[in-house]
Amino acid sequence: MTADRGDLLTIGEVATRSGHAPSAIRFYEAEGLVHSMRTPGGHRMFPRYVLRRLAFISSAQRVGLSLQEIADALAMLPPDRAPTKAAWSRLSTSWQRRLDDQIVELERLRDALTTCIGCGCLSLRTCGLFNPGDEAAHAGAGPRYLLGDDPPDVPDQDV
């Protein structure tokens, strides 16, 4: 990686500009998501395009992508310069289906939670979190009823 000092930023400058803590930037560097150069004194210096990669990481995390998904996506982009518009377009298109599925799931979850009136619940027959005796364990991990599995009938008694 070659760059003129005017094109390089210290880790503090990158942290300030990107909103990431220096420790997060070092972590992303250790994971190979961003790259820096070292000064003769051993200080990290980052090219400006790292700001775009960090913005991408933040955005991808906000929509729920895993660090591995983010790493896989960044591996498709040039490591030593800002990607082209076409490269970003290809990348975003590759996630379209996953994000559409996530939106549907979030809307379904939102709509299911509107019937919930909180714990101490008066609506145990429709509560997606109610799971007496861990009956949902046979269906798999996670909040099975919130994920769409049908809960068993709940008798008319206090639980």
Per the CB < 8 A criterion, the answer to whether 99 and 63 are in contact is: yes
**Looking at residue 2, what is its pLDDT?**
44
What is the mean pLDDT of the segment spanning 72-97?
A: 81
Helix (H, G, I), strand (E, B) or coil at 45: strand
Q: What is the pLDDT of residue 3?
A: 47
pLDDT of residue 159 exceeding 50, the answer is no
Domain ranges for the chain, please list them.
5-98, 115-159
Residue 113 has pLDDT above 70, yes or no: no
If you classify domain 5-98 with CATH, what class do you get?
A: mainly alpha
Predicted pLDDT at 126: 56
CA atoms of 74 and 16, how far apart (whole Å): 22
Query: Poorest-confidence range of 22-26, 76-80, 83-87, 105-109?
Result: 76-80
- pLDDT class for 123, splitting at 50, 70, 90? low
Mean pLDDT for the chain overall? 79
The pLDDT assigned to 96 comes to 84
The predicted structure's pLDDT at residue 125: 56
pTM for the complete prediction?
0.64
1, 15 Cβ separation under 8 angstroms: no
* DSSP states of 85-111: HHHHHHHHHHHHHHHHHHHHHHHHHHH
61 in Cβ contact with 54 (< 8 Å): no
Average pLDDT over residues 115-142: 62
pLDDT at 153 exceeding the cut of 90: no
- Cα–Cα dist 67/73, whole Å: 10
Contact 9, 37 (CB under 8 A): no
Q: How large is the average pLDDT for residues 95-123? A: 73
Give residue 85's pLDDT.
85
